[in-house]
Chain A
């Protein structure tokens, strides 16, 4: 053997104790319940460990631990666990599903909870309702372009730097960790990511003001808190979306508010004959 990079990762099994939030349904009292998980392969993902625990519960006819998941590769934004107090677990820049048991030591007690925030009520066990995010998108997170009406894609060049920055923002997976991490339950990072993604592109200019105003107003209406610049959000974000986008959105918002107040408006919105 030459390079150490090639050495296979350790596969010595570990055993841990899970302390899991169990809650039968919305508005019901919940509590922590302990489950042992023995002889785990450290290369197992955290969710696979939960599968193993659940298989055991089901075998005994007990209700398995409900948790949200789908793609299991960090892109769909479904998984949403608070592991040892941290949304998406101990590592930066990954989602819960990309957390592996090798991050834990034999004998550890691991506390698992759902994402908690006032606008994200718990549905069952580790699952909370993040439908509020969809409502914010519906308020303005789009560019109006009906199918069939678009010009040739290369008719509007986009400077590469802008396209790259837009893509940085667009990578948001809508998981809600930013909200769960924030003591104010602010959704600023999520909203800023969408506002910046669309606002950085020439295609997004026509509705730019309207978009930021509508999304921010919806966010407030749904009970998300204010941003007090703690930046817990970007630290918990699995896509490491930068809080610079929040500053960017604030500028957009102020500008839009100003323009909205002084912009001349056409009196006629009717179509011709």
Chain B
């Protein structure tokens, strides 16, 4: 049984981090040079940590599967990043951000971690502004904010609809500076395929060079995984196609616990699925809910009508109706389920009936009138107001409207967008303690790849915050606490048998896949896995469905290993092989997600078990039995994994019923 000591410092909540920083072990500057840290990943978490650690003096190697660190999936984040700056003077504070995030996560995250996140959020904005991130500004030159779901203050900083891109480019520029100065060795197009554990500690990794197929051994004093989330288990998701779980999954198979794997986020505002050829789903940023209003027709027979022809009285603005105090800004899990309920009632729109409207006509009117007033126009015509309003909306969300147009061939300025929930984020991930170290000493996990800060549901604009918090402001302190216990220069040689064994493990798996020469392409199985997961482990789950899904996935796994056709060889760039290797891990992880969902006999956040709901359809949490983290431990091939528990002790906050009404 794994030991799960969360190492949360004692003392008052607001003092824990400060106190921890002063008590933590330090590595002296001369010794820092002697430690080699391998950072896998260069998204917000990986790039910021690699740069910060290099600036402190550590030897850093940063490894990514992408052809450039700037391609990491963080680049796609649209809406914004939260920070408790209270620049709007609207009552925000570290405590409020902490509380919103903890409540948003339906009280399934650690208090201490979330508080630290809220504390360092303010430093992130300072750091990013210093790096030249072109955040949106007001006319006076100061920073602008917008609102996001699950909050009643405006604390989200943004750079048009490309906040993730700009933040990532900021972190990437720091990383690039270090690479240019020779303090970080950057290795692109290498995929981590195994973790090397020596005498119980993480001491290296194996990678496959995606261009040549060659396997490499990397020995290190500590390994950091910042490899992102695993939402592509569902095949269709808002993730980039290359996002994968391989690094985390191979670490799991080497003993790292996987925490709360069933906690996945289904985002309410995505462009609906249109055909079975589809390869990805596109997010329409949550920021659109600042100004857009979500509705379905009141009457089923109106569902196929032109939405502009449906009179106001026949529209059901269901989020505003059900959750009057948060309205269209209800959190994601809540909004997604509400949309699903509307569609289940037969009031969904679009060809498939799986869609709801996100309507901008009110916002266009409102902004149009404001702009007309600013320009001192007397009695502006309806067209003029519309024109000014559309321009104002374009300034805020233009790129999103463009994306919508490209994909659907429809103009959302003229007719409401059709949206539907889609898989978007994974709150679960490798278990880490307060220092972000997994239960394998020396293995640290940052960003979306860990489980730590978002509980059972993540609030919008808080993943970017967490990635940069972990990389810029947490790991630079906490890694020292571990490295100080390691003798400088004691890093094992890559010739050790543990490295050879890990390398052989990877080579064997590759050889096995290439030898199958079956009948179906990798995508065929990925689509099947995705459908099982969406049907039984998606927006709502039942005991019966989950048991069935586990059986289906086990069968699929056998079918895959007998029937897949992976052409080509191991010694070249082979994209079919890359996909097959990733899918092999997704299939196993999918089964674990179902197991976790089955065992968590309650509903909380994004995990909705139909058996556990209040009469109004809201989540029925069971704090008595499930106020804990479930950290799954691998027990070997075809053995049921062990479910370890880390109790969530709330010292300062009351776990209350989460209401947005």
A contacts, CB < 8 Å to B: 1-3, 5-6, 8-9, 24-25, 40-41, 43-45, 47-48, 51-52, 54-55, 57-59, 61-64, 66, 68-78, 94, 98, 100, 102, 123-124, 127, 129-131, 133-134, 137-154, 156-160, 163-164, 166-167, 170-171, 173-174, 197-198, 201, 203-204
Q: Does B573 contact A (CB under 8 A)?
A: yes
Proximity string of chain B (288-332) to chain A, C-beta cutoff 8 Å, 1 when within and 0 when not: 000000000000000001111100000000000000000000000
Q: Do A68 and B67 touch (CB < 8 A)?
A: yes
Residues of A within 8 A of B71 (CB): 70, 76-78
Q: How far is A63 from B298 in the complex, measured between Cα atoms in Å?
A: 52
Q: Do B159 and A167 touch (CB < 8 A)?
A: yes
Q: Does B389 contact A (CB under 8 A)?
A: no
Q: Does B234 contact A (CB under 8 A)?
A: no
* With contact pairs A45-B279, A76-B240, A131-B188 given, residues A143 and B567 touching in the complex (Cβ less than 8 Å): no
Q: How far is A96 from B127 in the complex, measured between Cα atoms in Å?
A: 34
Q: Do A6 and B308 touch (CB < 8 A)?
A: yes
* With contact pairs A134-B176, A143-B130, A197-B132 given, residues A51 and B279 touching in the complex (Cβ less than 8 Å): yes
Residues of A within 8 A of B307 (CB): 6
> Chain B: interface residue count, which band?
35 or more
* With contact pairs A76-B76, A154-B87 given, residues A138 and B180 touching in the complex (Cβ less than 8 Å): yes
Interface contacts beyond A71-B75, A71-B76: sample of 20 additional A-B pairs, CB < 8 Å, sorted by A: A5-B410, A6-B410, A45-B279, A48-B278, A55-B523, A59-B520, A61-B567, A70-B66, A72-B241, A77-B75, A123-B573, A138-B176, A144-B177, A147-B48, A150-B126, A150-B127, A150-B130, A160-B138, A163-B136, A167-B159
Q: Do A124 and B308 touch (CB < 8 A)?
A: no
- Tell me the minimal C-beta distance from A221 to chain B in angstroms: 13
Residues of B within 8 A of A2 (CB): 306, 308-309
Q: How far is A76 from B279 in the complex, measured between Cα atoms in Å?
A: 16
Residues of A within 8 A of B179 (CB): 134, 138
Q: How far is A40 from B136 in the complex, measured between Cα atoms in Å?
A: 41
Q: Do A167 and B160 touch (CB < 8 A)?
A: yes
Query: Can you list 20 A-B contacts (CB < 8 A)?
Result: A5-B410, A48-B278, A63-B567, A63-B568, A70-B242, A73-B282, A73-B403, A76-B240, A100-B407, A134-B188, A137-B180, A142-B173, A142-B176, A150-B123, A152-B126, A153-B129, A157-B137, A157-B140, A160-B141, A201-B132
Residues of B within 8 A of A148 (CB): 123, 127, 472-473, 476
Q: How far is A24 from B407 in the complex, measured between Cα atoms in Å?
A: 33
Q: How far is A143 from B131 in the complex, measured between Cα atoms in Å?
A: 5
- Tell me the minimal C-beta distance from A41 to chain B in angstroms: 5
Q: How far is A44 from B308 in the complex, measured between Cα atoms in Å?
A: 27
Q: Does B414 contact A (CB under 8 A)?
A: yes
Q: Which of B162-170, B333-341, B601-609, B619-627 contacts A (4 or more CB under 8 A)?
A: B162-170
B contacts, CB < 8 Å to A: 48, 51-52, 55, 66-71, 73, 75-76, 85, 87, 123, 125-132, 134-143, 159-160, 162, 165-166, 169, 172-174, 176-177, 179-180, 186, 188, 211, 240-242, 274-275, 277-280, 282, 305-309, 351, 403, 406-411, 414-415, 472-473, 476, 517, 519-524, 565-568, 572-573, 575-576
Q: How far is A48 from B14 in the complex, measured between Cα atoms in Å?
A: 50
Q: How far is A58 from B513 in the complex, measured between Cα atoms in Å?
A: 13
Residues of B within 8 A of A52 (CB): 277
* With contact pairs A63-B568, A64-B575, A134-B69 given, residues A70 and B173 touching in the complex (Cβ less than 8 Å): no
| Chain B residue at smallest Cβ distance from A137 | B176
Residues of A within 8 A of B211 (CB): 123
Q: Do A147 and B472 touch (CB < 8 A)?
A: yes
Q: Output the residue of A2, A58, A66, A129 with the most chain B CB within 10 A.
A: A58
Residue of B73, B128, B308 touching A3 (CB-CB under 8 A): B308
Q: Do B132 and A134 touch (CB < 8 A)?
A: no
Residue of B52, B135, B274, B279 touching A72 (CB-CB under 8 A): B279
Residues of A within 8 A of B75 (CB): 71, 75-77, 173
Q: Do B129 and A156 touch (CB < 8 A)?
A: yes
Q: Do A204 and B567 touch (CB < 8 A)?
A: no
Q: Do A153 and B67 touch (CB < 8 A)?
A: no
Residue of B137, B180, B282, B565 touching A59 (CB-CB under 8 A): B565
Residues of B within 8 A of A163 (CB): 134-137, 141
Residue of A3, A130, A152, A156 touching B306 (CB-CB under 8 A): A3
| Chain A residue at smallest Cβ distance from B186 | A134
Q: Do B277 and A170 touch (CB < 8 A)?
A: no
Q: Do A153 and B137 touch (CB < 8 A)?
A: no
| Chain A residue at smallest Cβ distance from B305 | A1
Residues of A within 8 A of B139 (CB): 160
| Chain A residue at smallest Cβ distance from B280 | A72
| Chain B residue at smallest Cβ distance from A41 | B275
| Chain B residue at smallest Cβ distance from A10 | B409
Q: Do A153 and B415 touch (CB < 8 A)?
A: no
Residues of A within 8 A of B66 (CB): 70, 78
Q: How far is A156 from B128 in the complex, measured between Cα atoms in Å?
A: 13
Residues of A within 8 A of B407 (CB): 100
